[in-house]
Amino acid sequence: MAPEILVSEVGPRDGLQSIKNILPTDVKKAWIAAEAAAGVREIEVGSFVPAKLLPQLADTAEIVTFAKTVPGLTVAVLVPNLRGAEAAIAAGADKLTLPLSVSETHSLANLRRTHEQVIDEARAIAELVASQPEGRRPHFEGSLSTVFGCTLEGTIPLAQILRLAEALMTAGCDEVGLSDTTGYADPKAVKDMIRAVRGAVGDASLTGIHLHNTRGLGLANVLAALDMGLTTVDASLGGIGGCPFAPGASGNIVTEDLVFMLQAMGLKTGIDLPRLLEVRKIIAGALPDEPLYGFTPDAGLPLGFVPETQTRSMEAAA
């Protein structure tokens, strides 16, 4: 049964790229396997960027190969360009995400590419994807990053964002995603942006969102996205990769808190929450110096809270 809300775990990519320590390949595999066993259906396992830029993710090809052996798991990766996409497809990834920063200043600083150049990469990747044999074509998403504002440019004009969303779809992306890279979003901005981008590319071409918890609004922003009908939400186990000089100011939304909220609201995620909470131990054991975030893991589940998996068992028994 497909979950109503797809929680897409991005810790092995977005979390690990933000910390100095390098998680050993075997621990990454154990993490991915344990989280998939807890019911997580999609994991962004790495990024095909040069190893000298992100040594933390140098083993991405090996991790993809491993993750492909995990039953029922959608193996997602980030690709910065055509070369990354070639490596991702060779490794067998199910989903490619190309980030396009809607702030051109940020795009130049981060990817060293203009908007025009990123759109050219998107077109080349889409052609590569289309040339793959039926059944082996990965899903290809263009992710609009800094879409809620940029630390260098501030607010980005909406017309520019919509033009870039349309350009990604015209280039051949299967869909676009929204990414609050800077943690600038608020619930009203989330609703307004989803409405505007869907107006430009169509409802079916925007289903997912990547939100940060930088200013504590992460889950409130998720709620706004759910209200608008989005069904895929990124999160990071233990909020790994949170900013070390700002305790609690995690970059990513904490997967455990997100799943608790969704299940408390009665939404089906397919995830066994008590089992998910156990997966933290794998990271805590391997990265003892790295803070893990999350409120639900500390507070525990409410008395009388019925985890989704038990609901399913009860329904099956009824």
Binding site for its own copies (CB under 8 A): 149-155, 182-184, 186-189, 213-217, 219-220, 222-224, 243, 245-249, 254, 257, 260-261, 264-266, 293-296, 298-299, 302-305
Are 133 and 92 within 8 A, CB to CB? no
Report how far residue 250's alpha carbon sits from residue 229's, in angstroms, rounded to the nearest whole number.
25
Residue whose tokens read 């939400």: 233
Please choose, from the candidates 142, 138, 141, 122, the residue with its C-alpha nearest in 3D space to the C-alpha of residue 82.
122
Give the active site residues: 243
Residue with smaller CB distance to its own copies, 55 or 302: 302
Cα pseudo-dihedral 233, 44, 75, 53, rounded to 10: 150
Nearest-approach distance from CB 300 to its own copies, in angstroms: 9
Residue with smaller CB distance to its own copies, 248 or 274: 248
Name beta bridge partners: 177.
Answer: 143, 208
Residue with smaller CB distance to its own copies, 63 or 156: 156
Tokens of 241: 């990769």
Nearest-approach distance from CB 31 to its own copies, in angstroms: 21
Tokens of 116: 């025009």
Radius of gyration of the chain (CA): 19
Helix and strand numbers (H, E) in the chain are: 12, 8
Residue with smaller CB distance to its own copies, 142 or 242: 242
Nearest-approach distance from CB 113 to its own copies, in angstroms: 22
Nearest-approach distance from CB 134 to its own copies, in angstroms: 41
